[in-house]
Amino acid sequence: MRLSRPRIALRVALLAVGGTYMLWRALEGRRALETLQGSDAVLASRLALIWALMGVLALVTAATAAFSLRRRRRSGTLQLGGTRRDA
């Protein structure tokens, strides 16, 4: 399925914003570890790790989608076999 360029640009923007938010949330969670102890600290640490991984994944996906926006040169059709019909 082909998506239009504006839709891909919207996806890139939403993924970038979401990924940035997740990374920010992970940093805030890591800063909160100083005030927590015991199992609360372990849970907060694991949640911060998950937020960070999801943020990185969202940013990589945004970069991949942005890469698909570049213009490509059109090439000829695929020709199977050694002969070409000129009729």
- Give the helix ranges, DSSP H, for 1-87: 5-32, 39-67
Q: Express each pLDDT in 20-56 by its tens digit.
A: 999 999 999 888 888 888 888 888 889 999 999 999 9
The full set of domain ranges for the chain reads 5-67
| CA pair distance 50, 53, nearest whole angstrom | 5
Stated pTM of the model: 0.72
